[in-house]
A and B are shown apart, each in its own frame.
Chain A
Amino acid sequence: MTILVIAEHEGGALKSATLNTVTAAAKIGGDIHVLVAGAGVAAIAAEAAKIAGIAKVLTAEAPALEHHLAEPLAALIVALAPGYTHILAPATTTGKNVAPRVAALLDVAQLSDITAVVSADTFVRPIYAGNALATVQSKDAIKIITVRGTGFEAAATTGGSAAIEAVSPAADPGLSAFVGQQLSKSERPELTSARIIVSGGRGMGSGENFALIEAVADKLGAAVGASRAAVDAGFVPNDFQVGQTGKIVAPDLYVAVGISGAIQHLAGMKDSKVIVAINKDEEAPIFQVADYGLVADLFKALPELAQELDKK
């Protein structure tokens, strides 16, 4: 068995979701190859070659691959597919965009968002917003899989010494073009890989009030998240959203502030190790999953919390 892992990278560095995907590949067993596609990816390939457990790193460079557009990237992966039994991508927006396209071109089904490997053809994946876990077996010759990062540890970034081999990119189908992007800038840790997350919901009342959350987050070295209600109300950008339709996180500590705890939000964070809820409504569903609940007005509790954290 040989497994191909599609590396995700941005701004000249490998994204951590790639490392979780490598661990999932290692659980399947077999040689693991990593594909780094893009423009000017030599440094990223060198970084990937150091990941423990990798047999080979493939690089594909072409202008069309620079922005990971689904059409040219899928064409490349399909061209490489005959050599592999499994093709794994992180279940990020890029992975979710490309993998099903690859699966359909190969006429195979896809397993989305797996959280555990049972055997080389059987996997566990959450359904119904994480309220049920399905164990699913694939009968296809090539298994196309996206991997939920929070389901697997990150592979070690050192200890490997894989060979790097260039492959020729497939012809660009010329169906799409990158126009531009607006990325949210943040000095804080990335949401999906943060050890601590402090999230705000509708109860925050306004975008300005998120400063109260940021003050606490900075003291904890935490990332800031939000519920859909807070995003829809325009308090914070949508890439802050934690939930079924946003990011799935599983930090050591998740602090939910002014979040009621709808099913769709819980789907994104209920695998966190420790959950803290701060809400003035003691009937809020969030208290049913919280390890520590504080029934209090967040406008009083957050400044107090920031102060308390100073007393170390």
Chain B
Amino acid sequence: MKVLVAVKRVIDYNVKIRVKSDNSGVETANVKFSMNPFDEIAVEEAVRLKEAGKATEIVVVSLGPVAAQETIRTALAMGADRGVLVQTDEEVQPLAVAKALKALVDKEQPGLVILGKQAIDDDSNQTGQMLAALLGWSQGTFASKVELGDKATVTREVDGGLETVALKLPAVVTTDLRLNEPRYASLPNIMKAKKKPIETVTPADLGVDTSPRLVTLKVEEPAKRKAGVKVADVAALVDKLKNEAKVI
């Protein structure tokens, strides 16, 4: 079966972001970008499915500016077979991404689509669920284990523990942190990935309107916490908590 994986280029998770002084967004110039960590897990899972003989081809898709090609190359170096870049310089929100992915799924006919559970920039946690809805497919969100047979058996991380569901295929799966440990791309594989094909299309080619449905009015820094104090020992700590903070 063919597997489609969606990856997003985001500000690297280690970067301490800065809000722009005009409150229009966050500073993205001269900031390190990399693949969204949950998407690395998605690519890794697809590659493992291929290694186990369950997947035949891995197509990796990203929406965004030309620079998102780098993110696709990273996935190709991890073991994906070919890439599709849906190129746009506009802001794309989860519903628009889901619609573009649906158009690609209609064209590519994969048996499984894997996405990360959320992107660490907008923290939406929506795209996978929206894609499943648009396709009329089943969804296995926050997956920590995926087994493929004539159904997909997915163990999900839920608030009280774990839950296992059986999904009719084709299905959409979104990855949680503990699904796997993504591999590092080796230098030879990075070189080989340069030869793998990346097709570039536009949202218009796919017949998708990506205009934002939500308008961001402003972006602000959260209120700073007051500087705290260091206490000398446990007795002083308990005293502060009892008599100053009055929380115990």
Report B-chain residues with C-beta under 8 Å of the C-beta of A228.
177
Stretch at the interface among A56-64, A127-135, A151-159, A205-213: A127-135
- Shortest Cβ distance from A254 into chain B, in angstroms? 10
Residues of B within 8 A of A192 (CB): 159
Complex contact B129–A70 (CB within 8 A): yes
Q: Does B161 contact A112, Cβ atoms closer than 8 Å? A: no
- In order of increasing CB-CB distance, the 5 nearest A-B pairs are A100-B129, A109-B213, A104-B130, A175-B138, A104-B133
Nearest residue (CB) in A for B135 is A104
Check: B220 CB closer than 8 A to any chain A CB.
Answer: yes
Distance A237 CA – B213 CA, assembled complex (angstroms): 38
Is B139 within 8 A of A136, CB to CB?
Answer: no
Residues of A within 8 A of B142 (CB): 93, 97
B129–A101 contact, CB under 8 A?
Answer: yes
Binding site for A on B (CB under 8 A): 11, 13-14, 16-17, 19, 26, 93-95, 98, 117-118, 120-134, 136-142, 144, 153, 156-168, 176-178, 213-222, 225-226, 228-231, 233-235, 237-238, 240-241, 245, 247-248
**Nearest A residue (CB) for B124:** A112
- Closest chain A CB from B5 CB (angstroms): 19
Q: Report if A273 contacts B (CB, 8 A).
A: yes
Q: Say yes or no: B247 contacts A196, CB within 8 Å.
A: yes
A231 to B178, CA, bound (A): 9
Task: Kindly supply a per-residue 1/0 record for chain A positions 118-138, scoring 1 wherever the CB is within 8 Å of any chain B CB and 0 otherwise.
Answer: 000010011111111111111
Count of chain A residues near B, Cβ 8 A: 91
Chain A, residues 249-290, CB within 8 Å of chain B (1/0): the string is 000110000000001100000100111100000100001011
Could you list 15 A-B pairs, sorted by A, with CB under 8 Å?
A70-B141, A94-B159, A130-B222, A131-B221, A135-B216, A135-B218, A137-B215, A138-B214, A138-B215, A178-B163, A178-B165, A238-B157, A253-B247, A290-B228, A309-B248
Taking a contact as CB atoms closer than 8 A, the residue among B19, B139, B157 that contacts A71 in the complex is B139
Do A101 and B133 have beta carbons less than 8 Å apart? yes
A133 touches B157 (CB 8 A): no
Any B CB within 8 A of the CB of A187: no
Q: Is the C-beta of A52 less than 8 angstroms from some C-beta in chain B?
A: no
Q: Let me know if A46 is at the binding interface, CB within 8 A.
A: no
- Whole-angstrom CA separation of A67 from B163 in the bound complex: 10
Q: Whose C-beta in chain A lies nearest to the C-beta of B234?
A: A304
